Amino acid sequence: MRSILFTLLLGGAMAAGACTPEFATGKGTRVHTIDSKKYVLAYRTQPEKIIIGQHFAVELALCAKENAATPDSVRVDAHMPEHRHGMNYKTAVTSSGAGKYRAEGLMFHMPGRWEYIFEVRASGATERMTTSVVLQ
C-alpha cells in the first residue's frame, strides 16, 4: 500500500514538472516542505525540537522548478504576526552548494505562533515563502 501511494505521489510530482529537494543525511529528523510557484523548499531545524530562548539553526534544501532561475541568495527570518515583532537576532545564511543552505542564529524568545520567512533571490526577483509553527 505504501509503495503504491509513493508511486502515485512521485508520478504526480513528475507530471507537474516539480522537483524534490533532499537532504543527504538526517535520519529521524523531521523535514518540512514548502511548495511555491518557482521553488520547492525543504527545511529542518537543528535541534529538531525548538526550545524557547535557545538558539537553533535551519537547514534548507532548495530546488528550482522548470523555467525558474537558479537562486542567487537566500535569506531566512522569522516573526510573530500577531505580536508584530521579529526575532531579537539576525540570521546568517551560508550556502554549501547544490541548493543547500544553513541559517544560523535563530531564536524564538517567547511562546506563540512564529512564522518563518524564506526569501529566495534570483535574477533580480524575490520569491517569498512562509510557514508557521506554534511554540508552547
Q: Which residues bind Cu ion (CB under 5 A)?
A: 80, 83, 110
85-86 and 73-80 as β-strands: parallel, antiparallel, unpaired? antiparallel
Smallest gap from Cβ 83 to Cu ion, in A, equals 3
Question: Which stretch of DSSP H or E encloses residue 32?
Answer: strand 32-35
Please identify, using beta-carbon distances, which residue of 32 and 83 lies nearer to Cu ion.
83
Smallest separation, CB 131 to Cu ion (Å)? 17
**Smallest distance, Cu ion to C-beta of residue 122, A:** 31
Q: How many residues belong to the chain?
A: 136
The CB-of-113 to Cu ion minimum distance in angstroms stands at: 9
Report the distance separating Cα 8 and Cα 115, nearest Å: 31
Minimum CB distance to Cu ion smaller for 12 or for 111: 111
Residue 127's alpha-carbon distances to 5, 35, 77, in angstroms, are 31, 11, 14
Give the nearer residue to Cu ion in terms of CB position, either 52 or 98. Answer: 52
Least spacing, CB of residue 6 vs Cu ion, in Å: 39
Report the side by side order of strands in the sheet with 125-135.
Answer: 85-86, 73-80, 112-122, 125-135
Closest residue (Cβ) to Cu ion?
83
Do residues 79 and 71 touch, judged by C-beta distance below 8 A? no
Taking the least distance from each CB to Cu ion, the nearer of 80 and 93 is 80
Beta bridge partners of 126: 121
Q: Give whichever of 83 and 90 is closer to Cu ion, judged by the CB atom.
A: 83
